[in-house]
Amino acid sequence: MSNPNERFNRITPSERVLMGPGPSDVSARVLQAISAPTIGHLDPEYLAIMDETRGMMRRLFRTRHEMTMAISGTGSAGMECCVVNLIEPGDEMIVCVNGVFGTRMKDVAERCGAVVHPIELAWGQSFEPDAIAQALKEHPNTKVVGIVHAETSTGAHQPLEEITQIVHDSGALLLVDAVTSLGGMDVRVDDWRIDAIYSGTQKCLSCPPGLAPVSFSPAALEKIQNRKTKVASWYLDVSMLAQYWGSDRVYHHTAPINMTYALHEALRIILEEGIDARIARHTLNHRALRAGLEAMGLSYIPPRSLTTLNAVHVPEGVDDAGVRKRLLNDFGIEIGAGLGPFKGKAWRIGLMGHASTKRNVLLVLSALETIMADQGRSVARGEGPAAASAVYETKQAVPA
């Protein structure tokens, strides 16, 4: 029985500097937008906000695809939406697996009844076009090729320009995970002929988690429209969602209205900065951080590193969890731990969206120096921040 005199604590989360694999820091403008009055999900004012948000998403994806929208759910909902709509039971699909999220895509495809042909690489590695071509030669009936552009679990960047040509020459569709790249790295849906792509609001878009931007090409929509079976997920059925996001406005589900406000404002911020300028900012901050970490003796895991997420080896003899705990407790900085085979062996340092700043780069380098020195690690004080500062002063190129 409830106690009428019982009192519950007010929620007062601590302020953090979010430099992990996500979520990233959220600007005051986005937080203010999410607190605006809630209106109905079929209110003409809200429908106008949806239209504007959709238009800005197209600009960010660099696409003219009509079927561009925000799925109600996190990035994994975006993944499921793309896979469940493109795959019918018995369809053959190639999935490129080099980390957690390639593995997850494979799992989702198998749950949809796909015959999955995985191409597997060691974690941290990126796929070469020849490997994709060979897999398509071995499996000529492949309907969809799925690949992760930015593997969050390893910090590995996957170039797509050559791969997309190979995929389309085979007659397959290309499905891309851009959860940790959209808004921080170059993503060109039309130029790269990406057929289905998904992302999440909580990474480089610097919006709270809860929506998944997706976009489908006309070829992808044709496959969806010509399905022989119903899409396994009612909630994520694009043919139904299209009627809500399109001109018909047929009720499908109650949209997360205030999250749409937040995404709208986050996209406004991105377009005000300029997509190219934003990518350049992420690249410069990555180069500065990399110079500082390497000056401190830390080495990167992936040969091709993301600019948005930096995965480095934990130095021998350094207490991984202890360092992360002190970063959080003493400096208010969150960085990510390693996953899977990298558990206890890697740090994942995010520089995404609102958190990708010179201040944060110098802050985390100084904090790491202090903590590692306290653990007995031989670190020349000031060397990491000095190396990063040199990059900012000269904007010198550091290999990515």
Instruction: Return the number of other C-beta atoms located less than 10 Å from residue 27's C-beta.
Output: 15
Residue 6 has a pLDDT of 83
Residue 395 has a pLDDT of 78
Task: Show me where the domains of the chain are located.
Answer: 28-272, 275-394
Give start and end residues of each alpha helix (H) in 139-203: 161-169
Architecture of domain 28-272: 3-Layer(aba) Sandwich (3.40)
Cα–Cα distance between 96 and 87 in angstroms, integer? 16
Q: What percent of the chain has pLDDT over 90?
A: 90
pLDDT in tens, 229-255: 999 999 999 999 998 888 888 889 999
Residue 368 has a pLDDT of 96
Is 275-394 a domain of CATH 3.90.1150.10? yes
Residue 247 has a pLDDT of 80
Residue 396 has a pLDDT of 54
pTM beyond 0.75: the answer is yes
Residue 398 has a pLDDT of 44
Residue-level pLDDT, tens digit, the chain, 400 residues: 567 778 889 999 999 999 999 999 999 999 999 999 999 999 999 999 999 999 999 999 999 999 999 999 999 999 999 999 999 999 999 999 999 999 999 999 999 999 999 999 999 999 999 999 999 999 999 999 999 999 999 999 999 999 999 999 999 999 999 999 999 999 999 999 999 999 999 999 999 999 999 999 999 999 999 999 999 999 999 999 998 888 888 889 999 999 999 999 999 999 999 999 999 999 999 999 999 999 999 999 999 999 999 999 999 889 999 999 999 999 999 999 999 999 999 999 999 999 999 999 999 999 999 999 888 777 767 899 999 999 999 875 444 4
Q: How far is CA 171 from the centre of its chain?
A: 27
Residue 238 has a pLDDT of 96
302: buried, middle or exposed (CB in 10 Å: 19+, 13-18, 0-12)? buried
pLDDT in tens, 28-49: 999 999 999 999 999 999 999 9
Residue 158 makes CB contacts below 8 A (sequence gap 6+) with 96, 126, 127, 147, 148, 149, 150, 151, 304
Instruction: Return the number of other C-beta atoms located less than 10 Å from residue 274's C-beta.
Output: 11
